[in-house]
A and B are shown apart, each in its own frame.
Chain A
Amino acid sequence: MYVSKRDVLADSFFIPYASMTAKELTQNDTFYQYLYSDNRKIERTLFLKMNMQITVNSMRASLEADWKLLSPEHKAALIESSFKKRDADQNMLKTIQNPDNPSHCSCGQSAPEIFKADPSCCSRGTVMSFTWLKNGDMELRIGTSILYSI
């Protein structure tokens, strides 16, 4: 979880936590409940990095079943968006060619045939991020490209 430093410093909620150690913070549920709550005072980004190769369908299923921070409408919109065809950007092309990605996974993005990309899987290290902006919008990124904005 990433938060905007300026927003945190401007929010009086965090004052009591300023002097706490990291260990004290991890034991404080109120702190994290506030971070995950539906407030528009702070800009937050949930940054997911895959620790193993995973299929796009598994990611969709996980999103649909387990995620409680998103409304059903948001989930449906995100899943529908993931089926749209997208061209791989430069970062994804590098990922496809990376020796640590032997399956040439492109995580739903299409690449020129020479890359032999497999769009049905995401390699280890693939990043998916959700950013909640203070204006109420939410951005979903896979890799560095914005997949969807609500």
Chain B
Amino acid sequence: MNGSCLGPDGYFTVCSDTTLWALLQRPISITTSRTDRTDSLSSSSSAKHIMYEYAIQYIDWDIYHPLLYTSFTQEDHPIPTFPPNYDDRTQCLTYNSTTVHIHSCLANQAAWKWSFDSSGKIMYSFGDTNYDFFHNQHRQDAHYSWIQRILLGPFLWYNQKYHPHIPPASPTNSITCHHLHRCPSTNVAIMSTCPIDTSITHKSLISITTKLVPFSISLQFDELLLSDFSHLKSSSSSSSSATVKESSSLMTRNDDPMSQKLSLVSSPYSLNGIHDTRESDITGGVISSSHTTSHFKADVHIHEEPHLHPELKYPSDLLFSNRGEIALARPKKIPTSMSQVVASGKSTETMLRDQEPHDQSQNRIFINTLHDSYARPQKTRKIPTHPYLIASKDGLYEDPRTGLMFFTDLCPYLGYDKYTYGRQTLMGMGHYYRTLLKIKVRYAFN
């Protein structure tokens, strides 16, 4: 999304050969008609709404293929631009009640049921798509299954209420967690039900997360990291009214009437184990229910916890400045909550667009050490790149010492279909010498 890819460690970073997932976004233009009746006459009007659908695209191609780039800003760090015109071979992630699969993005509408909430959680709707949901709200008998969502992450959290066929982790709580496991072929399976103690601390959850993510497609979407994606960190001091605004989903435009409805959905997961998917009632934009969305509780907990795993980053570490300037650890002046964004007159989309990477200096990630203070400038490092792929041309790498050409992807040589078997990537190169003959020359002078 916005030129970034979902990286192997669950962060949105610059696309490279090790990134696997990209988010596809497509607008849905919906025209609805409304009939207003008065005593003497009736008038009809139509309104056009723009909503968005999202799919998670599986990327298994040569990320450095020249067709992927519209421009090369730097020779060694080209910025890939994913073409929006995906074809029927583009594969996307779909999910059913037990497993995650990869299917064609175009042929399978189920691939477009991923969504995001205000804090950036990636969720999957078993029921309605954005489009369906929009129409359902106009039906009296609509069954809102929107809340039946899955949080995709190292753990898949769900409410036992909606998944009675899966036994709970323990009799004392109804929260069960799974993590994704990549199968050798094209499937991704949900493996290893792991009981989670409801009294688990954030710190220990992080370490479990790290431990249970054995492969690169795992998505670390706990509460802390979720806000990394959205770039809109939820404020711990949000009031109820702010909550309404903050809950406006990224799926809709701010001026969309759907925003309020979507805001009713509570986060299905919180760090302290509270699992709340109840809907609140809203009248005139004010929450009438006393339920507080659970993710705000989690935020408070996060902000009180200064110790992070060394490999994890604070949400602000992924905030890039427009001109590639090195950002400080805590950009306090940047509006972090949706309420602040709305107050500043800047839409969510604008925020995201503004943070779009434009040059090489933005292709840096900010690394936090364990006890970094907020004020200290962050240490930066380049994202590792594949030297053979970077130096290759048309899929061929030329060995500078011998002049011999080598494939960067061996699939054509082996006779494999790249889309079925994936890339066979050049990993290393060496020179093998063998002394065949030892010739001794003697000169005889007469």
Contacts and interface: CB of A to CB of B under 8 A. Distances in A.
Contacts of A77: none
A9 B387 CA distance: 18
A76 interface: no
Nearest to A51: B402
Contacts of B184: 6-7, 10, 134
A125 B396 CA distance: 14
B214 A12 contact: yes
A134 to B, nearest CB: 7
B406 A48 contact: no
A2 B18 CA distance: 15
Interface string A1-32: 11111111111101100111110011000001
Interface string B213-257: 111110000000000000000000000000000000000000000
Contacts of B436: 58
Interface residues of B, number: 39
Nearest to B408: A2
A3 B429 CA distance: 12
B340 interface: no
Given A4-B421, A4-B423, A9-B182, A66 B20 contact: no
Interface in B197-223: 213-217
B427 interface: yes
B384 A20 contact: yes
Nearest to B183: A10
Which of A10, A26, A48, A129: most chain B Cβ within 10 A? A10
Contacts of A3: 424-425, 427
Contacts of B434: 58, 62, 66
A9 B8 CA distance: 8
A6 B216 contact: no
A145 to B, nearest CB: 10
Contacts of A11: 215
B413 interface: yes
A138 interface: no
A9 B424 contact: no
Contacts of B404: 49, 51, 125
B432 interface: yes
A6 B427 contact: no
Contacts of B185: 6
B406 A22 contact: no
A9 B436 CA distance: 40
Interface in A76-135: 125, 127, 129, 131, 134
Given A9-B20, A9-B215, A48 B432 contact: yes
Given A2-B427, A35-B427, A58-B436, A15 B216 contact: yes
Given A4-B422, A6-B60, A125-B404, A15 B432 contact: no
Which of A6, A14, A19: most chain B Cβ within 10 A? A6
A1 B427 contact: yes
Contacts of B18: 9, 18
B331 to A, nearest CB: 24
A25 to B, nearest CB: 8
Which of B387, B427, B431: most chain A Cβ within 10 A? B427
A43 B386 contact: no
A46 B16 CA distance: 24
A22 B183 CA distance: 27
A10 B172 CA distance: 34
Interface in A54-81: 58, 62, 66
B62 to A, nearest CB: 10
A129 B436 CA distance: 21
A53 B432 CA distance: 14
Nearest to A35: B427
Contacts of A125: 404
A39 interface: no
B424 A2 contact: yes
B426 A12 contact: no
A149 interface: no
A47 B432 CA distance: 12
Interface in B407-427: 407, 410, 413-415, 421-427
B279 interface: no
Given A4-B424, A47-B406, A127-B413, 8 more contacts: A5-B422, A12-B214, A15-B213, A18-B8, A19-B384, A22-B386, A49-B404, A66-B434
5 A-B pairs with least C-beta separation: A12-B214, A6-B422, A5-B423, A10-B182, A2-B410
Interface of A: 1-12, 14-15, 18-22, 25-26, 32, 35, 43, 45, 47-49, 51, 58, 62, 66, 125, 127, 129, 131, 134, 144
29 contacts: A1-B426, A1-B429, A2-B407, A2-B426, A2-B427, A5-B17, A5-B422, A6-B182, A6-B185, A7-B184, A8-B425, A9-B8, A9-B215, A10-B215, A12-B214, A12-B215, A14-B216, A15-B8, A15-B216, A18-B9, A25-B428, A45-B424, A47-B413, A51-B402, A58-B434, A58-B436, A125-B404, A127-B413, A129-B413
